[in-house]
């Protein structure tokens, strides 16, 4: 929950050090005991180019951006129009601009924020090797109540290798900025807190997904780079060998999905990460994993689509392909983390489920979680490691039945090296032995068991995160990175005297009709919130679930995030 | 007297399953199946330590006809399945079987990168210059003027692909050509390919008697290649570029490149890695 927060944007051209400034601010905020959430937006240039760091800081956990930013600090105004739509400002906002960089561009000025001049370039020049971005950071720190000591500590650590002179230059520029903030219009200030540093993690959703994979037992990863999923793979690359695993860069996504199927067939829990275009290429082979009952996990970090779409920005529009994209009747798992932090849990859970149920699991993360960096409370180690059921004994003369029909639908799975259990895994319809078959009875019984093992499994309480009032007559159902703004809207609604309940679904497939019915008991209004153009989640819920009472949908495409205020307004205007 | 060796003596039938192949009478693939089981027996490999991986096509049916571990995947992706399996389980002997369509057309990119990557496995391609399972269409090794297909009634009109030259250029570590008409020779070459570290490619001319009946003549057209073993890629390239495709029975190139064997012993617990996330670390 957000509680008291302050929201900032630092923008500027390539080389202005915008991203560096954002990262330093995040680190310093962590030392002040605050939580943080930061996303970045940049131009299309491969390297450099204009950028904006969007940051929200709070004394309590922060899961998403606010409706508007309190401060827009522009080192300069180069190409700011590219981000203008992503930087909502209001009358309470402050634009910090350098007069030397020219007048505030019309699209920004039109937002109606208070404007304050601060001569970033000129002040930076007063310090040998001083940089305007540090001056801006100093001004921001003074405005929001960030103690100088926190930034000093971060600079000493991060610039250690550059030497004392560089540290002093940065600190001096920072201090000048702090002094220059005197008389600037007020914005919310946060109180520093004493928190043991080791209890705070600075982590991106993509790193968290990687950590979840390792905790779940993944020891083989095949990788083909794609924005915005590459960091999952790049984080795992040096980590896997440390725990006895391996990452292989594949020639394409067709190879990466099949490599992990091969490794998993060999008994090693395996994973790949990709984004929409890669997921589309993988779908045929995900069906193979379903049919041959080989556990695999695909972390799909969604971006704007279709086709190449907007690679660097978020959207939730891979829901349909994740759920319905496989040919044939191919029941599989689709899960979605509900926050940066939850990327860890959900990925770990996906590995556990895939291993236990011997099927494919798709984790639908998105750019707004994957590439966002958050300062969070350290994530407690949750111990569940998937256990594949292995065959234990065979009676004399009995042949191993790899795809034996069982009550649960899960058949004990041998791995190469086990004498007497050799079988051929097959994407062809097969009999219990694995022998290819085109008989109707074999087809039906194998389709049944693959479905049964998923629908009969007890997913416990993890299927969704439910919060709010038990006696509410209004519920908001959402998923993925919309969960943060929805929870925040709930809190505002409650603060305004309203009652509501939120359901953030973590398990999207198989469907959980009884669970959702229980979660929506007594509700007569359901608001569905998602970030797609066509309302994919709304249509999916309508098709798969009985929703009580009146149903409304709030959805728009990326890259603009769903903001808490939009959700709140839907509730407020629902009469 | 090595008692263990005696105890482990294996016969080809120890590697055969009782599944009846779907192939047409006279298909060259019967000989190749038999050669694979002979090679495994000659090497006395424990059946549970061997995996045969394939994609889709007539020859890709081989895994189920053996008694070793098998994987019959989707069209064109046998090499990535095998790559993942071998890297994750370096203790296994991994064979890949398939045809010219599966390996060189739909799976062409994986073929290039499998040669490049040089994982220690053996790829047996049964080349019959036709798609048999889909009832006779031109493949990447079909001559441009072959008019036997309803799909390309005037011939495919494009030059055939030369898999062995491509393999050499892409970095395969062992390149051989055999004919299914001499299964003992095929068995011997497969065994040699398995023993040789790195990626081994064995092209076996394996006639399709149904859609390319003229290939029945191959057994009269092939000749034993008169070549010395070479580890010189330039010499091998000349040899491969100038032959007519019927020089068989020999290893045409044998390199000494180290196989790709990533992986390391665990030196950390997973929880140790958490420290990297802690603020101030």
Domains and CATH numbers, chain A: 5-195 (3.40.920.10), 206-377 (3.40.50.970), 389-457 (no CATH), 461-572 (3.40.50.920)
Q: Do B51 and A222 touch (CB under 8 A)?
A: no
Chain B residues touching residue A246 (CB < 8 angstroms): 87-88, 262-264
The phi and psi torsions of A555 (rounded to 5 degrees) equal -150, 140
The H or E element containing residue A133 is helix A132-144
The pLDDT of B131-156, averaged and rounded, is 97
* Residue matched to tokens 């039945």: A401
- Spatial neighbors of B276 by CB under 8 A, at least 6 apart, are none
Helix pair angle (B108-117, B163-170), 10° resolution: 40
Alpha carbons B69 and B17: distance in angstroms, whole number:
11
Report the residue of A266, A378, A429 to disrupt the B interface, i.e. the one with the largest count of B CBs within 10 Å: A266
Q: Are A202 and A27 in contact (CB under 8 A)?
A: yes
Q: What is the pLDDT of residues A235-251, one digit of tens each?
A: 999 999 999 999 999 99
Nearest CB among B69, B266, B271 relative to A381 is that of B271
Alpha carbons A108 and A93: distance in angstroms, whole number:
11
Other beta carbons within 10 angstroms of residue A398's beta carbon come to 9
Residues in B 235-274 with any Cβ partner in A closer than 8 A: 262-274
The pLDDT of A161-177, averaged and rounded, is 95
Q: Which of residues A486 and B5 earns the better pLDDT score? A: A486
- Spatial neighbors of A57 by CB under 8 A, at least 6 apart, are A5, A6, A7, A8, A25, A29, A34, A35, A36, A144, A190
Domain B20-277 has CATH 3.40.630.40: no
pLDDT at A1 exceeding the cut of 50: no
Cis bond before residue A306 (omega within 30° of 0): yes
Q: What is the pLDDT of residue A359?
A: 98
pLDDT band, residue A2 (cuts 50/70/90): low
Q: Do A434 and B53 touch (CB under 8 A)?
A: no
Q: What is the pLDDT of residue A15?
A: 86
* SS3 (DSSP) at A211: helix
Instruction: Output the average pLDDT for chain B.
Output: 95
The pLDDT of A97-105, averaged and rounded, is 95
pLDDT at A172 exceeding the cut of 60: yes
- Our CA-based measurement puts residue B278 at a distance from the nearest CA of chain A, in whole angstroms, of 4
Q: What is the pLDDT of residue B252?
A: 97
* Residue matched to tokens 């994750």: B88
pLDDT band, residue B5 (cuts 50/70/90): very low
Q: What is the pLDDT of residues A265-301, one digit of tens each?
A: 999 999 999 999 999 999 999 999 999 999 999 999 9
Q: Are A73 and A96 in contact (CB under 8 A)?
A: yes
Residue A436 DSSP label: B
pLDDT band, residue A3 (cuts 50/70/90): low
- Nearest chain A residue to B45, by CA: A417
Q: Do A203 and B277 touch (CB under 8 A)?
A: yes
Q: What is the pLDDT of residue B2?
A: 44
Q: What is the pLDDT of residues B60-96, one digit of tens each?
A: 999 999 999 999 999 999 999 999 999 999 999 999 9
Of all residues in chain A, what percent are helix, strand and coil, respectively (each to 5)?
Answer: 40, 20, 40
pLDDT at B185 exceeding the cut of 80: yes
Of all residues in chain B, what percent are helix, strand and coil, respectively (each to 5)?
Answer: 40, 20, 45
pLDDT at A571 exceeding the cut of 80: yes
- Residue A269's closest CA among A339, A366, A374, A360? A360
The phi and psi torsions of A560 (rounded to 5 degrees) equal -70, 130
Chain A contact present for B153, CB below 8 A: no
The pLDDT of B120-126, averaged and rounded, is 98
Q: What is the pLDDT of residues B202-259, one digit of tens each?
A: 999 999 999 999 999 999 999 999 998 899 999 999 999 999 999 999 999 999 999 9
Nearest CB among B67, B80, B272 relative to A262 is that of B80
Chain A contact present for B46, CB below 8 A: yes
Answer yes or no: is the ipTM higher than 0.95: yes
Instruction: Output the average pLDDT for chain A.
Output: 95
What percent of chain A lies above the pLDDT cut of 70? 99
Chain B residues touching residue A418 (CB < 8 angstroms): 48
Q: Do A285 and B89 touch (CB under 8 A)?
A: no
Q: What is the pLDDT of residue A70?
A: 98
pLDDT band, residue A42 (cuts 50/70/90): confident
- Nearest chain A residue to B22, by CA: A436
Alpha carbons A299 and A270: distance in angstroms, whole number:
11
Alpha carbons A523 and A502: distance in angstroms, whole number:
11
Nearest CB among B48, B81, B269 relative to A416 is that of B48
pLDDT at B6 exceeding the cut of 70: no
- Spatial neighbors of A64 by CB under 8 A, at least 6 apart, are A37, A56, A368, A481, A484, A485, A488, A561, A563, A564
The pLDDT of B30-48, averaged and rounded, is 98
A169 token code pair: 């230059």
Q: What is the pLDDT of residue B229?
A: 83
The H or E element containing residue A247 is strand A246-249
For chains A and B, CB pairs below 8 A equal 197
From residue A130, alpha-carbon distances to A135, A166, A176, A276 in Å are: 8, 9, 10, 43
- Our CA-based measurement puts residue A261 at a distance from the nearest CA of chain B, in whole angstroms, of 6
Report the residue of B22, B103, B279, B280 to disrupt the A interface, i.e. the one with the largest count of A CBs within 10 Å: B279
What percent of chain B lies above the pLDDT cut of 90? 93
pLDDT at A171 exceeding the cut of 90: yes
Q: Do B92 and A263 touch (CB under 8 A)?
A: no
The phi and psi torsions of A365 (rounded to 5 degrees) equal -90, 180
- Spatial neighbors of B18 by CB under 8 A, at least 6 apart, are none
From residue A164, alpha-carbon distances to A155, A171, A446, B9 in Å are: 10, 10, 68, 72
pLDDT at A381 exceeding the cut of 90: no
Chain B residues touching residue A215 (CB < 8 angstroms): 270
The pLDDT of A214-240, averaged and rounded, is 97
Alpha carbons A133 and A46: distance in angstroms, whole number:
22
Q: What is the pLDDT of residue B4?
A: 47
Tell me the DSSP string of B45-92: --GGGEEEEE-SSSGGGGGGGBSSEEEE-STT-HHHHHHHHHHH-TTS
């Amino acid at each position: 929950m957000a509680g008291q927060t302050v929201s900032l944007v630092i923008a500027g051209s390539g080389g202005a050090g915008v991203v560096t400034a954002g990262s330093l601010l995040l680190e310093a905020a962590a030392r002040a005991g605050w939580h943080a959430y930061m996303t970045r937006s940049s131009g299309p240039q491969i390297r450099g180019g204009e950028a904006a760091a969007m940051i929200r800081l709070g004394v309590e956990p922060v899961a998403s951006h606010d409706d508007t930013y309190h401060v827009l600090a522009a080192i300069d105004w180069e190409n700011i129009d590219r981000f203008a739509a992503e930087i909502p400002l209001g009358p309470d906002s402050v634009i910090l601009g350098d007069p030397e960089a020219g007048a505030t561009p019309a699209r920004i000025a039109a937002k109606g924020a208070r404007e304050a001049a601060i001569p970033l370039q000129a002040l930076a020049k007063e310090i040998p090797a001083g940089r305007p971005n540090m001056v801006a950071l100093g001004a921001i720190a003074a405005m929001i109540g960030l103690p100088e000591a926190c930034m000093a500590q971060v600079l000493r650590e991060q610039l250690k290798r550059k030497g004392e002179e560089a540290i002093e230059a940065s600190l001096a520029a920072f201090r000048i900025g702090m002094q220059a903030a005197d008389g600037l219009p007020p914005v919310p200030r946060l109180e520093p807190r004493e928190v043991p540093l080791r209890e705070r993690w600075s982590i991106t959703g993509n790193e968290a997904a990687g950590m979840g994979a390792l905790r779940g037992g993944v020891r083989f990863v095949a990788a083909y780079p794609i924005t915005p999923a590459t960091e999952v793979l790049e984080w795992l690359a040096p980590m896997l060998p440390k725990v006895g695993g391996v990452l292989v860069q594949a020639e394409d996504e067709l190879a990466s999905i099949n490599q992990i199927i091969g490794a998993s067939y060999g008994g090693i829990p395996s994973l790949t990460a990709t984004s929409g275009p890669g997921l589309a290429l993988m779908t045929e082979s995900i069906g193979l994993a379903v049919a041959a009952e080989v556990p695999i996990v695909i972390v799909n970090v969604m971006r704007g689509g279709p086709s190449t779409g907007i690679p660097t920005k978020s959207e939730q529009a891979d829901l349909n392909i994740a759920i319905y994209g496989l040919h044939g009747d191919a029941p599989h798992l689709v899960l979605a983390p509900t926050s940066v932090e939850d990327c860890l849990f959900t990925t770990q859970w996906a590995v556990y489920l895939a291993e236990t149920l011997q099927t494919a699991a798709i984790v639908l993360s998105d750019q707004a979680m994957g590439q966002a960096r958050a300062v969070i409370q350290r994530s407690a180690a949750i111990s569940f490691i998937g256990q594949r059921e292995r065959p234990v004994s065979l009676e004399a003369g009995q042949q191993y039945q790899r795809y034996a029909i069982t009550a649960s639908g899960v058949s004990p799975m041998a791995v190469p090296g086990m004498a007497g259990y050799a079988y051929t895994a097959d994407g062809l319809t097969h009999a219990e032995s694995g022998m290819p078959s085109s008989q109707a009875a074999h087809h039906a019984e194998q389709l049944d068991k693959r479905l049964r093992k998923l629908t009969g499994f007890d997913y416990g309480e993890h299927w969704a995160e439910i919060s709010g009032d038990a006696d509410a007559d209004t519920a908001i159902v959402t998923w993925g990175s919309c969960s943060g703004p929805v929870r925040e809207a709930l809190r505002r609604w409650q603060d305004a005297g309203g009652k509501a309940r939120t359901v953030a679904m973590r398990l999207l497939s198989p469907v959980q009709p009884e669970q959702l019915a229980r979660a929506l008991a007594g509700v007569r209004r359901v608001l569905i919130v998602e970030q797609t153009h066509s309302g994919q989640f709304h249509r999916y819920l309508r098709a798969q679930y009985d929703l009580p009472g009146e149903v409304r949908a709030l959805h728009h495409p990326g890259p603009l995030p769903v903001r808490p205020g939009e959700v709140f307004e839907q509730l407020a205007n629902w009469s | 007297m090595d008692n263990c060796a005696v105890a482990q003596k294996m016969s080809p039938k120890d590697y055969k399953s009782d599944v009846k192949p779907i192939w047409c009478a006279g298909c060259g693939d019967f000989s190749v199946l038999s050669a694979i089981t002979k090679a495994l027996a000659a090497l006395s490999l424990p059946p549970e330590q061997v995996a045969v991986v394939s994609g889709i096509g007539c020859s890709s049916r081989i895994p189920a006809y053996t008694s070793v571990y098998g994987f019959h995947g989707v069209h064109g992706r046998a090499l990535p399945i095998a790559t993942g399996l071998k890297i994750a389980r370096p203790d296994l002997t991994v064979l890949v079987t398939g045809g010219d369509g599966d390996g060189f057309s739909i799976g062409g990119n994986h073929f290039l990168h499998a040669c490049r990557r040089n994982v220690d496995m053996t790829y047996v391609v049964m080349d019959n210059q036709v798609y048999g399972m889909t009832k006779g269409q031109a493949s990447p090794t079909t001559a441009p003027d072959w008019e036997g297909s309803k799909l390309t009634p005037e011939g495919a009109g494009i030059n055939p692909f030369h898999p062995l030259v491509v393999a050499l250029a892409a970095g395969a570590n062992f390149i051989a050509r055999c004919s299914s008409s001499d299964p003992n020779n095929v068995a011997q070459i497969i065994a040699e390919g398995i023993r040789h570290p790195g990626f081994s490619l064995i092209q076996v001319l394996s006639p399709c008697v149904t859609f390319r009946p003229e290939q029945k003549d191959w057994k009269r057209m092939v000749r034993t290649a008169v070549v010395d073993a070479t580890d010189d890629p330039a010499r091998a390239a000349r040899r491969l570029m100038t032959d007519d495709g019927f020089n068989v029975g020999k290893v045409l190139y044998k390199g000494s490149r180290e196989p790709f064997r990533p992986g390391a012993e665990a030196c950390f617990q997973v929880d140790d890695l958490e420290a990297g996330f802690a603020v101030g670390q």
